[in-house]
Amino acid sequence: MVDLRSDTVTKPTPGMYEAMVQAEVGDDVYGEDPTVNALEAEVAALFGHEAALFTPTGTMANQIALQLLVPRGGELLADADAHVVTYEVGAAAALGGISTRTWPSSGGELDVDLVASYLRPDGFHAVATNAVAVENTHNRGGGTVLPLEALRELRRVTLEAGVALHCDGARIWHAHIADGVPLRAYGELFDTLAVCLSKGLGAPVGSLVVSSAERIAQARVIRKRLGGGMRQVGVLAAAGRYALTHHLERLADDHTRARRLADALAPYGLVDPARVRTNIVPLDFTKASLDALSFARAAAEQGVRVSVLGPRIGRLVTHLDVNDADIDRAIEVFTRILAR
């Protein structure tokens, strides 16, 4: 089976398993797991921040970050397709008491002037905007990479407005490889970041909140409150450290394979290859002779799994466990189905 549903379906490599077995561990709730501490220090340094906090999931990392920036009853501003408001089952409201307002999404692109027009000051009987969240790369946008200059302009606008800025950087590693922007250059623009080790990098679990030492101290309390206090979790942190060392640069291979898929499907009107710059290939079945679910079912019958995001929306994601031969097979299956 060639599984192109997500880059979260990967299995640990032999080297990663060995790193997990050999990990030195301690009780992380007491701050005594040396492997976790090393991972947190390493990731914080990569982004030029003072501290980081290991969490079991990306959703928890995002929600901790949002609670650090937005008080209960305060407002978060994000785009309508943002993961924090689309795929985190209302956690910002349910767990953080955060009011969310969105601007219209446009394929994950960032229109700073539009965002600026949505910022609300305190007063006028309205909820003031406390923080803005952006996603890089953008999941529902098809792996869109936000340009560094646009992010810098957004940082200028939010600073002038006294509004905090959060980055859902679950796949920021892909943006780093695609555009060559140093991770520290991204880090210096945000008050908080949430970065994932199990999307693309191939770790079995884990994300981190990155911020100032003061905020991360508070984040530990929030993590505990959310049930995220972990014990001898260095066995998982070791997988993350291995992933950062061995699987970061190879993301370029995933980007190349994704573009091969896009080029092969472009003649059928399902995707614009120019939009595919990272490892996500968005599929639009609006003008196709079959819908996304029918396509996915037909592909699965022939050994290729496809993600269905809506009646006319599908997605392919390349990753560590998909090689060139798998891409060849997927293209053969897809073209056979579409040529019927």
Across the range 222-229, mean pLDDT stands at 96
Say if residues 258 and 316 touch (Cβ distance below 8 Å): yes
pLDDT value of residue 124:
76
Q: What share of the chain has pLDDT > 70, as a percent?
A: 100
Domains and CATH numbers, the chain: 14-246 (3.40.640.10), 250-338 (3.90.1150.10)
Task: Say what the alpha-carbon torsion angle 70, 88, 229, 205 is, to the nearest 10 degrees.
Answer: -130
pLDDT tier at 123, thresholds 50, 70, 90: confident
Q: Is 190 helix (H, G, I), strand (E, B) or coil?
A: coil
Does residue 340 have a pLDDT over 80? Answer: no
On average, the pLDDT of the chain sits at 96
Say if residues 216 and 31 touch (Cβ distance below 8 Å): no
pLDDT value of residue 134:
98
> Could you tell me which residue, 233 or 106, shows the higher pLDDT?
233
- List pLDDT tens digits, range 67-116: 999 999 999 999 999 999 999 999 999 999 999 999 999 888 999 999 99
pLDDT tier at 239, thresholds 50, 70, 90: very high
Q: What Rg value do the Cα atoms of the chain yield, rounded?
A: 20
- List pLDDT tens digits, range 280-289: 999 999 988 8
d(CA 15, CA 10): 14
Structure tokens at 109: 């692109």
**Sign of dihedral through CA atoms 143, 113, 179, 53?**
negative
Phi, psi of 141 (to 5 degrees): -80, 0
d(CA 253, CA 251): 5
pLDDT value of residue 122:
85
pLDDT value of residue 19:
98
- List pLDDT tens digits, range 146-186: 999 999 999 999 999 999 999 999 999 999 999 999 999 99
- List pLDDT tens digits, range 3-60: 999 999 999 999 999 999 999 999 999 999 999 999 999 999 999 999 999 999 999 9
d(CA 7, CA 205): 12
